[in-house]
Amino acid sequence: MEIAKATPLADNFYLGLPFCIPTVPSHCGFCLFPTQDYKGNSGMQTYLEYLEREAELYAPFLANDRLSSMYVGGGTPNLLKAEDYGRLTAIAEKLYGKIPDDVERTIEGIPQLFSKDKVDAIRAAGFNRVSMGVQQMSDKLIKYSGRRQTHRQVMDALDHFNAAKLAVNVDLIYGWPEQTVADMLRDLGELVDQGVRHITHYQLNIAGRSDFSKAQRELLPSLETTIDMYKESCAFLRSKGYRQATVYDWEKVESMPGRFESPNADRYQYEQNLRDFLHADDQSVTETRNMIGLGYAGVSFPFTWPVQGGPNWSQMNLRNLDAYFQSIDAGKLPVEKQFLYNKEDLKLAWLFQSMQSMTIDLHNYAVAFGADLLHDYAPIFDELHKRSWIEIDAKQVRFIGLGEFFIPMIQALFSYARLNEMRGGLKQIVEGKKIINILETA
């Protein structure tokens, strides 16, 4: 496919490692990501070889792109042995050339696998940031997830990161089974005291096949308590000098002496790129920030931008590991499905990302889409305004009060009409097939 490249393309480059330690309940009780049970290092080695081969297939498509940030997620990437982290940064360097020092390179993992040796190997391989999925600090509450992690391991890992001069993000979940507001504030307080400068504090997502959703619902805090948790956590983190970058991202610009002092340790470039993927100045979109995801279930958004007329699409790699391997053996990109965006879809994708930061830049929208946001979605903005969930001035729409908490639902509201239209389309296809069948048998 010919890709229009009049606007420079900067890539968020993602590598996915699918393996996780099995838990009871499965998938840590809450996780909805596609993963595979870890069965040992030989499976990991096979997978790494295929990941390297997939990158070779991608090379011609990325030849003119610039690496803006790199992120290794999963799954549980710190299941890798110390000697293998360099293979991940080598994949990025093969595609993009030598990586400048200031490019953010993040790797995710779970606390109990961040041993000192491994953390040092991660640093030596060129990573400058880690994202640790802690979720709960309490040894009692973490048990609901079946994870075998301890509070001590969380604290030790933070010390290893600090000694290795790695910037760090810690993920915590609120709305966890049996969690109280006091539990939540204690966890946040411990991270603040440790000098952690980026905290992702997000609400438990109760959905689908997860054990928390199906079997532990009665243990979850009520909606009222969860709203209280959101409000209390915001007040607490603000009082400690943190800035709210999104509904769930908290950044501390000032470092504590001797703790996480590396430049930009508060910043999260990968997330920032996602939120600002059509980066505009006063006149035009100056850079398109793409998402290129390799590996099992990797997701890509190789957007151009609307004025160039596209194509703009999203795609997801195969979620069947054998099929992923077979596709690469056949010399084909291991893509499971693609969705081609029309202009309305691109607007919705941009709005979805903007809303994450609780503001929508009216000028940026006008520059990117040649349209007036408030006019395009007038009935929704009227309703949000009536409820005092937004403030509007000449430059931006800002979500306030309960409007912040309900952003995920407001995002669904914006896409509701388009989703129904597409579902109608699917129904029409099914109806159409029925008609063809009837005609054929008549």
Shortest CB 85 distance to ligand SF4, Å = 18
Shortest CB 436 distance to ligand SF4, Å = 43
Shortest CB 327 distance to ligand SF4, Å = 23
Task: Choose between 205 and 255: whose C-beta lies nearer to ligand SF4.
Answer: 205
Task: Choose between 110 and 410: whose C-beta lies nearer to ligand SF4.
Answer: 110
Question: Phi and psi (nearest 5°) for 290?
Answer: -95, 160
CB 99 within 8 A of CB 93: yes
| Residues 121-150, mask of contacts with ligand SF4 (x by CB under 6 A) | ------------x-----------------
Shortest CB 204 distance to ligand SF4, Å = 12
Alpha-carbon distance of 329 to 290, in angstroms, equals 27
Task: Choose between 12 and 76: whose C-beta lies nearer to ligand SF4.
Answer: 76
Closest by Cα among 145, 139, 141 to 20: 145
Only one of the segments 29-37, 161-169, 193-201, 377-385 lies at the binding site for ligand SF4 (rule: CB under 6 A); that segment is: 29-37
Shortest CB 61 distance to ligand SF4, Å = 28
Quote the Cα angle for 142-146-150, to 5°. Answer: 45
Alpha-carbon distance of 28 to 345, in angstroms, equals 33
Alpha-carbon distance of 332 to 406, in angstroms, equals 41
> Which residue of 5, 33, 39, 340 would you call a contact of ligand SF4, by CB under 6 A?
33
CB 432 within 8 A of CB 424: no
* Phi-psi group of 97: left, alpha or beta (phi > 0 → left; psi -120 to 50 → alpha; rest → beta): left
Identify residues 146-175 at the interface with ligand SF4 (CB under 6 A): none
Task: Choose between 133 and 334: whose C-beta lies nearer to ligand SF4.
Answer: 133
Task: Choose between 110 and 184: whose C-beta lies nearer to ligand SF4.
Answer: 110
Among all residues, whose Cβ is closest to ligand SF4? 31
Identify residues 69-108 at the interface with ligand SF4 (CB under 6 A): 74-76
Please state, as a whole number, how many other Cβ atoms lie within 10 Å of the Cβ of residue 182: 9
Shortest CB 108 distance to ligand SF4, Å = 8
Shortest CB 132 distance to ligand SF4, Å = 11
> Which residue of 9, 20, 92, 192 would you call a contact of ligand SF4, by CB under 6 A?
20
Task: Choose between 205 and 308: whose C-beta lies nearer to ligand SF4.
Answer: 205
Only one of the segments 27-35, 97-105, 266-274, 405-413 lies at the binding site for ligand SF4 (rule: CB under 6 A); that segment is: 27-35
Contact between 27 and ligand SF4 per CB under 6 A: yes
> Which residue of 7, 9, 14, 35 would you call a contact of ligand SF4, by CB under 6 A?
35
Identify residues 378-407 at the interface with ligand SF4 (CB under 6 A): none
CB 278 within 8 A of CB 349: no
Task: Choose between 28 and 346: whose C-beta lies nearer to ligand SF4.
Answer: 28
Task: Choose between 31 and 184: whose C-beta lies nearer to ligand SF4.
Answer: 31
Task: Choose between 173 and 384: whose C-beta lies nearer to ligand SF4.
Answer: 173
Contact between 18 and ligand SF4 per CB under 6 A: no
Task: Choose between 227 and 299: whose C-beta lies nearer to ligand SF4.
Answer: 299
Identify residues 248-277 at the interface with ligand SF4 (CB under 6 A): none
Task: Choose between 75 and 295: whose C-beta lies nearer to ligand SF4.
Answer: 75
Only one of the segments 68-76, 177-185, 239-247, 396-404 lies at the binding site for ligand SF4 (rule: CB under 6 A); that segment is: 68-76
In order of 118, 149, 171, 348, 355, the CA distances from 168 in angstroms are: 15, 18, 10, 31, 24
Only one of the segments 28-36, 260-268, 423-431, 432-440 lies at the binding site for ligand SF4 (rule: CB under 6 A); that segment is: 28-36
Contact between 31 and ligand SF4 per CB under 6 A: yes
Binding site for ligand SF4 (CB under 6 A): 20, 27-28, 31, 33, 35, 74-76, 110, 133
